[in-house]
Amino acid sequence: MKKFAIALSMLATLSTPALAAGDAEAGKTKAIVCSACHGVDGNSMIDMYPKIAGQQETYLKKQLTELRQAAHTGGKEGRNDPMMSPMAAALSDQDIEDLAAYFSSQKLAMSEVNDVPELGEQLYKGGDAVRGVTACIACHGPNGQGSEAAGFPAIAGQHANYIKIQLNKFHDTSRNNDLNGMMQDVAKKLTSEDIEALSKYISSIK
């Protein structure tokens, strides 16, 4: 009887269709609707929207999944964004896989940033021990490429304005889908001047 139960369990597993891996070509077609804000290849020309070209596939999947979750729970769970949550609401799991595969395969267009405050580099590389501000380099790396395995996104070359918007959201906790609240903890200790300087420095990293 036990062997029969095991056999049934194995059969059910084998007969259950597995979610196909992300298809970048399918994602390219599905991404047409994203192009108005993010550009056809994920390099947004509008600095309030993020560049998502070349972003880690797992990070893109996490964000899209949590934006969809917020839409389905009225903002009580996931990542609630007034523009992106409704856009993500109708996405299937396979849509998310395909979109993430496509955008992660694109090449990021780097930003040109002038007048980068020295404070930004200081905070990114060394933090501020007196205020308990952790250096950004600890998670996002010296070149701003993050760590896909650890779930830390690539941020180098991102629009300074978008970075500023997100740091302010973490600061006031209106964005709270960060791992273990790490970004909220850092951002709440930053001043407006800190955020401005960091945003410009991160955007300038190549």
Residue positions forming the annotated binding site for heme c: 34, 37-38, 84, 136, 139-140, 183
> In this structure, what token pair is assigned to residue 35?
């192009």
What does the alpha-carbon distance between residue 8 and residue 11 come to, in Å, rounded to a whole number?
5
Reduce the DSSP state of residue 49 to 3 states and report it: coil
* Total Cβ atoms within 10 A of residue 174: 11
CA proximity to 85, closest of 71, 66, 75, 64: 71
- Residue 110: phi and psi, rounded to 5, are -70, 150
What does the alpha-carbon distance between residue 27 and residue 98 come to, in Å, rounded to a whole number?
4
What does the alpha-carbon distance between residue 176 and residue 159 come to, in Å, rounded to a whole number?
21
Annotated binding site: 34, 37-38, 84, 136, 139-140, 183
Reduce the DSSP state of residue 133 to 3 states and report it: strand
> In this structure, what token pair is assigned to residue 156?
């180098």
